[in-house]
C-alpha cells in the first residue's frame, strides 16, 4: 500500500492503512483498477478511441471515502479487462495492457500497480496530481451525464491522461498535461452547472435544521438525480427526506424544493457522520463520497448507490431505464422513529452565480463606497484534522467589512456563525456543493468585468481547504483560469514533490496556510 491521495494521508504516504479506514487489501484492489484502466487507455489511444462512459464509475470508485467493497472492484476489473482484451495489442506496450490478475494474492502482492512503482519522484508527483485531478473530473462528468449533458472532449482527455502514466514525457510536457486537466476541469464544471439547472436556477434559501415527527430518510453525497428519484418514490408515504453534508444546496433548486416532504438539512459535514448519523434513527442513502465506514450503531441503516460501496450494506443499482428501486429503503424507514433534533440553526445556501450576479449593482455600490472592502473565497472540503479549526477562527477574525464566498463542505466550519450582513448582503455567501466553486469564479469574473479589471486585481483572496480529489480538480481549474496567490491548507499534499511545489509557487504564487494572524496579513484582509 502506498496512498497519498487525501489530506489525511500519513507522511510520506499511508502504507498499512488509511485514516479513511481503507485497508491494504482494498488499496491494492484500487491500485489494480487504476493500473488496468491505464492499460486500457494506452490501447485505446493507440486505436484512436476513448474510454466508454460506463468505465467512469470504476475511476470514480477509487476516490477517497467512496469504494470499500472488494467485490465491486472485482466487477470493475472484469469490465475493464473485457474492454482491454477486445483491443489489438500495441508493439512495446506496458505490462498494464496485458495484466489480468488471477487471484487476490496476485492483486495484493504483484508489486506492479501502485504509484510508488514510478521511480522518478517528480514524474510520480506530476502523474499523481494529474490522476487525482481526473478522478475529480470523472466524478463531476458522471453527474452531468446522468442529467443528460455530455461533452465530446472530456473522455478523450481522461483517456490521454491515464495513458500518460506509461509515456516517456519530460517534466514540461507533464506540467502541460496537468494544466490541460485544469482547462478541461473548467469545461466540466460549467457543464455540470448547466446540467444541474434541470432543477431550475438556485435561489438564496434558508434551510431549516429542525426535525419533524415523521420517520425520515437521510440523503448524503452530491447526486441531485438520486435525491429527485427518492423524492418521487416517497411522495404520499408520510416519510420526510432530509439532506446531509454536500446535499444541503439541493434545497435551493426550485425543482427539488417543490416537494413538501423535503424537510430540511440534518447535521453538518461528512467528517461528523459517526456522531450525527446514529441520532437520525432512519435509513441513510450515500449517493457519492464521502462514506466513513459506519459504526455498528447505524450500519444496518446504511444503503449505497452509484460508485459508493461498503461490504454488508445494501447497494441500490440503476435499472436500464435509469430508475432505481428504493423499496427496501422505504420499507425500513416506515419502521423507524423520527430523527433526534441536533439543535442546529437554519443554514443559508443557494448563493450561486445567478443569484449573486443579480445582486451585482448593490454589491458594487457597497464596494465602491468602502462598505465591502474584501471578499475571501473559503471554498473546499472539511475533514477530521484538528488543524481545520483554523478555518472557524479565520472566519471569526475577518473584519466586518469582509464577505466570505464559499462552496463545498468546508462551509460547515463557519456557516453556523452569526456573522451578520452588510446592508442586506449576507457575510457568508454559500454557492453550493464543491463543484459550485465554478460559481465563485463566475462571480469573480463578473465583478472584474464590471470593474474593468482582471480577476487578480479585485479585492478577492483565496483561502482554500482541500481534502480529496475533487478539490484537486477545482484547484487545477483555478490555476488554469490564472488565479494567483491561492492559499492552500490545512497542509500541502504529500504527493507534491519539492521541485513541483517550487514550480507552483514561482508560477502561481501558491502558498500554504499557517496561522490566522499571519494569514490575515498575507491575504490582505487586515
CATH (domain of 121): 1.20.1270.20
C-alpha dihedral, 372 to 375 to 381 to 387, nearest 10°: -80
Q: How far is CA 472 from CA 19, 179, 440, 493, in A?
A: 19, 12, 16, 10
Phi, psi dihedrals of residue 473, rounded to the nearest 5° = -65, -40
How far from chain centre, in Å, is Cα 518?
A: 28
Q: Where is the domain boundary, 275, 304, 333?
A: 333
Q: What is the pLDDT of residue 197?
A: 97
Q: What is the pLDDT of residue 127?
A: 99
Distance CA 526, CA 398 (A): 8
Distance CA 206, CA 113 (A): 47
Q: What is the pLDDT of residue 312?
A: 96
For residues 314-327, average pLDDT: 96
For residues 326-343, average pLDDT: 98
Distance CA 441, CA 480 (A): 12
Q: Is residue 388 located within the same domain as residue 480?
A: yes
Q: What is the pLDDT of residue 54?
A: 79
Residue 342 lies in a domain: no
Q: Is residue 506 located within the same domain as residue 363?
A: yes
Residue 346 lies in a domain: no
Q: Is residue 407 located within the same domain as residue 359?
A: yes
Q: What is the pLDDT of residues 289-309, one digit of tens each?
A: 999 999 999 999 999 999 999
Q: Is residue 44 located within the same domain as residue 164?
A: yes
pLDDT at residue 311 is higher than 90: yes
For residues 204-213, average pLDDT: 98
Q: CB–CB of 256/228 below 8 Å? A: yes
Q: Where is the domain boundary, 304, 333, 362?
A: 333
Residue 293 lies in a domain: yes
Q: Where is the domain boundary, 280, 306, 333?
A: 333
For residues 502-509, average pLDDT: 98
User: Alpha-carbon torsion 356, 362, 367, 370, what sign?
Assistant: negative
Q: Give the bridge partners for 205, in sequence order.
A: 349
Q: Is residue 252 located within the same domain as residue 303?
A: yes
Using a pLDDT cut of 70, give the percent of the chain over it: 100
Q: Is residue 461 located within the same domain as residue 423?
A: yes
Which residues, at least 6 apart from 289, have a Cβ–Cβ distance to it below 8 Å? 63, 64, 65, 66, 139, 221, 270, 308, 468
Residue-averaged pLDDT of the chain? 97
Residue 222 lies in a domain: yes
Residue 287 lies in a domain: yes
Residue 391 lies in a domain: yes
Q: What is the pLDDT of residues 170-189, one digit of tens each?
A: 999 999 999 999 999 999 99
Q: Is residue 62 located within the same domain as residue 108?
A: yes
Q: Is residue 374 located within the same domain as residue 422?
A: yes
Distance CA 17, CA 289 (A): 19
Q: Is residue 72 located within the same domain as residue 175?
A: yes
Domain range spanning residue 258?
Answer: 205-333
Q: Is residue 190 located within the same domain as residue 313?
A: no
Q: What is the pLDDT of residue 53?
A: 84
pTM: 0.97
Rg (CA), the chain: 22
Query: What is the number of structural domains in the chain?
Result: 3
Residue 338 lies in a domain: no
Q: Is residue 482 located within the same domain as residue 406?
A: yes
Q: How far is CA 160 from CA 38, 41, 48, 117, 167, in A?
A: 9, 7, 10, 20, 10
pLDDT at residue 55 is higher than 90: no
Q: Is residue 114 located within the same domain as residue 61?
A: yes
Residue 7 lies in a domain: no
User: Alpha-carbon torsion 7, 181, 434, 502, what sign?
Assistant: positive
For residues 64-93, average pLDDT: 96
CATH (domain of 210): 3.40.50.2030
Amino acid at each position: 500500500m502506498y496512498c497519498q491521495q487525501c489530506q489525511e494521508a500519513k507522511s510520506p504516504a499511508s502504507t498499512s492503512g488509511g485514516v479513511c479506514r481503507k485497508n491494504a487489501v482494498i488499496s491494492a484492489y484500487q491500485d489494480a483498477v487504476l493500473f488496468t484502466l491505464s492499460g486500457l487507455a494506452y490501447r485505446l489511444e493507440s486505436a484512436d478511441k476513448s474510454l466508454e462512459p460506463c468505465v467512469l464509475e470504476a475511476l470514480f470508485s477509487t476516490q477517497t471515502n467512496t469504494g470499500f467493497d472488494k467485490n465491486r472492484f472485482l466487477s470493475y476489473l472484469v469490465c475493464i479487462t473485457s474492454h482491454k482484451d477486445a483491443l489489438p495489442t500495441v508493439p512495446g506496450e506496458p505490462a498494464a495492457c496485458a495484466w489480468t490478475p488471477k487471484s487476490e494474492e496476485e492483486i495484493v502482492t504483484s508489486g506492479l500497480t501502485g504509484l510508488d512503482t514510478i521511480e522518478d519522484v517528480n514524474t510520480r508527483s506530476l502523474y499523481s496530481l494529474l490522476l487525482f485531478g481526473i478522478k475529480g473530473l470523472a466524478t463531476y462528468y458522471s453527474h452531468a451525464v446522468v442529467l443528460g449533458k455530455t461533452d465530446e472532449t472530456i473522455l478523450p482527455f481522461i483517456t490521454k491522461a491515464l495513458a500518460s502514466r506509461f509515456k516517456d514525457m519530460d517534466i514540461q510536457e507533464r506540467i502541460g498535461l496537468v494544466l490541460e486537466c485544469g482547462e478541461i476541469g473548467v469545461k466540466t464544471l460549467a457543464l455540470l452547472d448547466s446540467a444541474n439547472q434541470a432543477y431550475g436556477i438556485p435561489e438564496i434559501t434558508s434551510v431549516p435544521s429542525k426535525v419533524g415527527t415523521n420517520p425520515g430518510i437521510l440523503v448524503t453525497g452530491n447526486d441531485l438525480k438520486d435525491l429527485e428519484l427518492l423524492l418521487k418514490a416517497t411522495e404520499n408515504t408520510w416519510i420526510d427526506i432530509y439532506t446531509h453534508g454536500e446535499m444541503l444546496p439541493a434545497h435551493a433548486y426550485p425543482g427539488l424544493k417543490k416537494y413538501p416532504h423535503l424537510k430540511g438539512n440534518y447535521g453538518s459535514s461528512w467528517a461528523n457522520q459517526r456522531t450525527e448519523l446514529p441520532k437520525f434513527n432512519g435509513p441513510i442513502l450515500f449517493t457519492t463520497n464521502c462514506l466513513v465506514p459506519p459504526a455498528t450503531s447505524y450500519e444496518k441503516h446504511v444503503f449505497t448507490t452509484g460508485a459508493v460501496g461498503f461490504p454488508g450494506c445494501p447497494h441500490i443499482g440503476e435499472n436500464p431505464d435509469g430508475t432505481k428501486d428504493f423499496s427496501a429503503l422505504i420499507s425500513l424507514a416506515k419502521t423507524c422513529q423520527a430523527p433526534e433534533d441536533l439543535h442546529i440553526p437554519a443554514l443559508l445556501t443557494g448563493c450561486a452565480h445567478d443569484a449573486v450576479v443579480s445582486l451585482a449593482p448593490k454589491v458594487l455600490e457597497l464596494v465602491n463606497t468602502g462598505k465591502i472592502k474584501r471578499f475571501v473565497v473559503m471554498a473546499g472540503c472539511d475533514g477530521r484534522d484538528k488543524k481545520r479549526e483554523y478555518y472557524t477562527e479565520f472566519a471569526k477574525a475577518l473584519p466586518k467589512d469582509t464577505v466570505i464566498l464559499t462552496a463545498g463542505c468546508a462551509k460547515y466550519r463557519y456557516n453556523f456563525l452569526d456573522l451578520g450582513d452588510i446592508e442586506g448582503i449576507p457575510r457568508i455567501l454559500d454557492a453550493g456543493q464543491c463543484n459550485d466553486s465554478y460559481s465563485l469564479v463566475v462571480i469573480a469574473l463578473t465583478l472584474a468585468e464590471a470593474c474593468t479589471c482582471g480577476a487578480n486585481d479585485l479585492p478577492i483572496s483565496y483561502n482554500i481547504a482541500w481534502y480529496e480529489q475533487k478539490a484537486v480538480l477545482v484547484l487545477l481549474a483555478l490555476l488554469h483560469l490564472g488565479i494567483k496567490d491561492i492559499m492552500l491548507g490545512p497542509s500541502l499534499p504529500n504527493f507534491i514533490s519539492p521541485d513541483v511545489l517550487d514550480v507552483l509557487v514561482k508560477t502561481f504564487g501558491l502558498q500554504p496556510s499557517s496561522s490566522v494572524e499571519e494569514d490575515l496579513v498575507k491575504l490582505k484582509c487586515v
